[in-house]
Each structure stands twice: as C-alpha cells, then as structure tokens.
Chains A and B, each alone.
Chain A
Amino acid sequence: MIEKTLKGKPAYWIWLAFLGMLMAVGAACYARQFLFGLGMTGMSRDVSWGLYISQFTFLVGVAAGGVMLVLPYYIHDFKAFGKITILGEFLAIAAIAMCLLFIMADLGQPLRALNVVLHPTPSSMLFYDMIVLNGYLFLNILCGWVILTAERKGVHPPKWIYFFVYLSIPFAVSIHTVTAMLYCGLPGRHFWLSAIIAPRFLASAFAAGPALIIIASLILKRVAGFDAGKEAMNKLVTIIMYAALLNTFFVLLEVFVGYYSNIPGHKHSIEYLFFGLEHHGHVYDNLVPFMWTSVVLNFGALGLFAWPYARKKNEFLLGLSCVMIFLALWIDKGLGFVFAGFVPNPLDEITEYIPTANELGITIGIWATGFFILTLLYKIAIGVEHEMEQ
C-alpha cells in the first residue's frame, strides 16, 4: 500500500515539499539546541516546561480524539463512520509521532532517553505515559493497517484484530488520563492539583481530535475527491459540540473554585491567565490576549455549531467553526494550561515565559513532521478507498 504515496498530483508534491522545508528548518534548529543545550529555549529555572511539553500535552488529546470515531463504529456499529474511522486511526498515529518528537526535543539528555526503560520506575507517571503512548501508537498502526489491507482485498478483517481494536479504546482514554496525571499529582502546583484535569483533558481532546478530522475531510473532499458523507459529518459535529461544552463547563468550574474559595494558590494562575497577575507593582499578563482569544473562539464556534445552517448546509462555516474550536482548545491546553502552572513559582515569584525563535522553529518543524506523516497516511487510505470504488 505504501506505493500509493509515490503517485500524486503536483499539489500533493508541493504540499509535501513545503512540509519538508519546514521539517528541515526544524532539524536545523534542533541541531543548534542539541549542541548548545536547552538554554536555546525561553524556558527558565522557574518555568521549566515550555512549548514542547505543552504541545505534547495538546497532541496527546488530538491522538485520543480518534477514539470518538472508533468507539461509535466498532462498539455501537454506527455504519456512517465506516469511511472515516481510518482517518481517526491514522490521525492518532501522526499525533503520537509528534508527541514522541516533542518529548525528545524537551529532554536535556536525549541520548539517555532509554533510561526510562532501563531503570523502570513504577512510581513515576512518566513511566506509564511511555507505556500507554507507545502502546496506543502500536495499536493504531496495527489496527489501521490490517483493516485497510482487508478492505483493499475486499474481505472482512480477521477476527483477531477486533481484540486490538477494542483494546485501543481504553488505551485512548488512558493516554490522556495519564498525561493529566503528570500534572494533577504534583503537590504545590495548585493550578494543576485538581481532580478535574483528566476529565477536562478528555473533553477537550474529544472536541479537538474530531474537529481536525472534519477539517481534513473537508480538504480531502476538495483535493482528493473523498466524501466522508453527510451523516458522518453531522454526527462528528454533535460530538464536538458536546465535548466542547463539557470542556467549557469544566473550565468554568475551575474558575468558580478559585474565585469563590478565594484561596490565593487556587486563584493566582487563573488570574494570571485571564487578567494578569499584579506582583510588586508590576502586572504580568503575557497570556491574557491569548486566553481571551481562546474564549471568543470557543464561544464563537459553539454559536456556529448551534446554527443548523452553518453546520449542515455551509461547508465553509462548518470548516471555520472547526478551525475556531481547534485553535481555542490549542490555546487553552497547548499554551495556557502548562505555562500558567508555573506562575507563581513555589517561592511566590513570577517569571514569564517567552519562547525563542529557535524553539519556535523546532516546534513548527515537529508539527510539519506530523502533518507530513498524516498526509502520507491519508494518501494511502484514500488511494485504497478510490481503488475500491473503481
């Protein structure tokens, strides 16, 4: 099936070349970081995790979001997802690949990464994260490949594969739960120390993942003649809407707990995100414009989703609302959540984090790598689809 990636229209090659160029920039930036150290980034003693870990956190969600197709299709036999479930599985592969790359980019001693396996430490959440992330990656490669091969041959997939398909469902939930546990089990980081982090992560994941799949489907419809089907799209929109509403609800609960309890530790990070934190006469508010953009995009997208014309009749508005919700969740989880956890630091001091150009280069390079993988995988999936139609 891999040969399908080798034939394509010029636009396909131009797109791959464009991504390849960004990947080269990312690789060059990483070479610089590898030789100098993480001092090339904007991270500091106080804000010791930055863009890499926040992107990782967000992308785990995108990967887990694929389960919103797998679960209805395989458990509830929702036939309309038949054509696009493979898109969810392949999205998960690309997203996990980005996650692993972001973790590698974040390590101070990347060559020692295997120490996590050589000295397994069951008390560390990172140990479990390694297991479930790699497990989920493996499951998606296996299930996606076997089922697509069967489809191509016009036969039913072998029975044994369903064991792995069902197994991938709890794995999808666990990757984001364990990623939430990286944060919510740390004493002294009040913003993260909340039992709602894992459900909140899952809710935003189940909105962001399917939103990206709708965007991809709309693009594929135009450039590759792939039609996911009206019913599938409508169902995905419903899923996104409920998930995004739940996420909004959970965030508002956090705001309530912080402000009503009036406990400084619970309040400070939220204050920092949305209003700026005053400290010794200086207001620290780097993230405020981002967070309000996220709020506007979030409610704007929810409004568009609620409008039947926009979600059913107008593909542009449907695409726009999906882009909006994806961006809103990316800002909320892919920027704000991680950075604000470090403000203020345990000694009640404030250091703000601003990523450097080199850091942005690596980040863009890794995103480009993910989309490169995604493009190739979708090319295969759609190639098989077209072969069937003939």
Chain B
Amino acid sequence: MDTQRRKFLKIAGVTALAGIGAPALVRLSSSTALASEHGAPPAAEHAAAAAHGAPVETAPQGVRLGMVIDMRRITEQPELLDNAIAACNAAHNIPQFDNRKSEVKWIWKAPFANVFPGESSYHLAKSVEKTDFAVLCNHCDDPPCVRACPTQATFKVKENGIVAMDYHRCIGCRFCMAACPYGARSFNWEDPRPYIKKYNKDFPSRMRGVVEKCNFCGERLALGQEPACVEACQGTGAIVFGDLNDAQSEIRQVLDKEFTIQRNASLGTKPSVFYIV
C-alpha cells in the first residue's frame, strides 16, 4: 500500500499539484476558519512549524477545536438555533424520520433539565426554563466512545481533536452509543436515503447499520469554511468556534471573559462544547 501511495504521489506530482505542501494543508484544514478570525501571527507560526516537518501531534499543545454556545443570544432569537439545525441537516444529508425510535440527530434542541440532568432545575430562571438548548457531540478530549469502539471506526483526529467517524469501518455494534454519556450518537436502523428530503451533492449519506454523529464539519473546515451551524448564526456570536489551545483565538477570548458550563464534566470526558447560560 505504501509503495503505491509513494508511486501515486510521484506521478501526481507531475500531472497534478497537491496545492500547498500537505503538512501545511493539515494545518490549514483544521483551522482555516480560525486563521481568518484572529490575524496572521499564530497561524503563520504553526504553518512554519509544520512546514519544517515538525509533526503537529508532538507539539506540546495541538489544535483542539471547541465551541461556545451563548444561550443568551439564542434566548433573544430562538430562530437562530432552528436555522443552525436546518443548516446542519441540509449540509450532512441527515434523514428526517417521523418516529422517535429511528431518529438520526447531529445537533438538536432540548430543555435545560434534559441537557444538564445533573444540574438543579429547581426555580430555574424563567428565561432558561423556556429556551431550548442546543445539543450536539461534545468532541470530548477523552472520549469514552473512542475507548469503546472495537475497530477504531470512531477516533480522535490528532490534528484537531475532532471525534470523527469512519463509516466504512463501523460494524454497527453500537458500543459507542452505550458508552457516550451525552446521547450524541445515532444509529441507522434502516436505509436513511428515503428519509433525506434534499441532497447536498457535496456530501455522502450514510448506509444502514452504521453509527453517525456530528463531525464538527471537518469537510467544511477543509475548505476554509466555518461549521454549518456556526455559519447559520454568523454575526450574532451565538455560536463561537475555534481552537481551545490557541490563546489568541476568539473562542478563548470568550471563555476568558464569560462564565461557562459543560455537560456532565464530572465524568472526566473533558467536553469541548461550552455553554453560556
């Protein structure tokens, strides 16, 4: 396999151009969205390190993508969350089942009491009680689903911390669904295609018998775009996305300033999704 890859790269080097050097692209794909946010210096620094062949994963702190969801904005404009969910569903060819049993969800809405069952909902602020929270995969830094998967079909991308799925490899044992303490995973109980309303031709669907979940829009990041849900809330600051390990990033500015909570942090999974209530 390796010799073939090398052979391919050799020939491809003549006929095709791999754009910028591959290591730089690795860097680019994980944080193009962020680079544009906070100016050149940190990105250039990373890119330089990568170009010198320093593997990203050996850096003391790699990229760890995360998200802050500002529920105050969503309380003001609840339609933001609907737009974000619709954008995700459209971008990822997510089927819409009308029964709860077969549901496939990447990002969805649920009341505070359900999203934070460990927190008290006793005499909750009325605004919080009335607003639905956004729920999605936490892309944990120490994900139990990855630990449980017997085939590495779900794994942590070392370049950016995304907890990703390889649908080609998943055997459908659903161990990850039992392991996930956030209920973020869905299984394709049947062929999803008839339940996809409209296709995004740039993204595959899934097949029956595999588990799926939010991928932090890895495919969009590669094109320098923001995740679909973030883009849907553009300009409102409702969802901030970026590198948690980059002190200059917008998400870090927000985290430094605001008090945030994470879902069931006591389990030690280190969720990468934060909520401002």
Please determine if A and B sit in direct contact within the complex, based on CB atoms under 8 angstroms apart: yes
A94 to B190, CA, bound (A): 31
| A37-B188 contact in complex given A124-B149, A188-B267, C-beta closer than 8 Å | yes
Contact among B149, B171, B190, B267 with A107 in the assembled complex (CB-CB below 8 Å): B171
Cβ of B37: which chain A residues have Cβ within 8 Å of it? none
Cβ of A189: which chain B residues have Cβ within 8 Å of it? 178, 181
B199 interfacial by beta-carbon distance below 8 Å: no
Cβ of A127: which chain B residues have Cβ within 8 Å of it? 150
Among A14-22, A41-49, A154-162, the stretch that binds chain B is A41-49
Query: A322-350 CB contact bits vs B (8 Å, 1 = yes)?
Result: 00000000000000000001101111110
Cβ of A126: which chain B residues have Cβ within 8 Å of it? 148, 150, 173, 175
Query: Is there an interface contact between A347 and B114, defined as CB atoms closer than 8 Å?
Result: yes
B198 interfacial by beta-carbon distance below 8 Å: no
Chain B residue total in the interface (Cβ 8 A): 49
Query: Is there an interface contact between A124 and B175, defined as CB atoms closer than 8 Å?
Result: yes
Query: Is there an interface contact between B150 and A121, defined as CB atoms closer than 8 Å?
Result: yes
Contact among A46, A106, A112, A342 with B169 in the assembled complex (CB-CB below 8 Å): A112
Query: Is there an interface contact between A38 and B100, defined as CB atoms closer than 8 Å?
Result: no
Chain A 162-201 interface residues, beta-carbon cutoff 8 Å to B: 182-183, 186-189
Query: Is there an interface contact between B182 and A119, defined as CB atoms closer than 8 Å?
Result: no
A348 to B114, CA, bound (A): 5
Query: Is there an interface contact between A348 and B113, defined as CB atoms closer than 8 Å?
Result: yes
Query: Is there an interface contact between B147 and A108, defined as CB atoms closer than 8 Å?
Result: no
Closest to B192 in A: A37
| A108-B152 contact in complex given A187-B267, A347-B115, A348-B117, C-beta closer than 8 Å | no
Query: Is there an interface contact between B169 and A119, defined as CB atoms closer than 8 Å?
Result: yes
Chain A 248-289 interface residues, beta-carbon cutoff 8 Å to B: none
A348 to B146, CA, bound (A): 23
Cβ of B135: which chain A residues have Cβ within 8 Å of it? 347
Closest to B189 in A: A39
Closest to A338 in B: B178
A390 interfacial by beta-carbon distance below 8 Å: no
Q: State the main secondary structure of chain B at its contact with A.
A: loop
Q: How large is the interface on A (under 10, 10 to 19, 20 to 34, 35 or more residues)?
A: 35 or more
Chain A 286-321 interface residues, beta-carbon cutoff 8 Å to B: none
Query: Is there an interface contact between A48 and B171, defined as CB atoms closer than 8 Å?
Result: no
A6 to B178, CA, bound (A): 45
- Nearest Cβ in chain B — how far from A49, in angstroms? 6
- Nearest Cβ in chain B — how far from A388, in angstroms? 45
- Nearest Cβ in chain B — how far from A54, in angstroms? 12
| A186-B178 contact in complex given A109-B209, A119-B169, A124-B148, C-beta closer than 8 Å | yes
Binding site for B on A (CB under 8 A): 36-39, 41-46, 48-49, 103, 106-110, 112-113, 115-116, 118-119, 121, 123-127, 130, 182-183, 186-189, 341-342, 344-349, 351
Q: 17 new A-B pairs (CB below 8 Å) besides A107-B173, A109-B170, A109-B210?
A: A36-B208, A37-B208, A37-B209, A38-B190, A38-B209, A42-B101, A44-B101, A45-B102, A45-B183, A108-B211, A112-B170, A112-B172, A124-B175, A126-B150, A187-B269, A344-B117, A346-B182
A-B pairs with the 9 shortest C-beta distances? Answer: A108-B172, A188-B181, A108-B209, A39-B190, A39-B189, A126-B150, A37-B208, A346-B183, A44-B101
Q: Can you list 15 contacts pairing A with B, beta carbon distance less than 8 Å? A: A37-B189, A37-B209, A38-B187, A38-B189, A45-B102, A45-B186, A108-B188, A108-B209, A110-B171, A121-B152, A187-B268, A346-B180, A346-B264, A347-B110, A347-B135
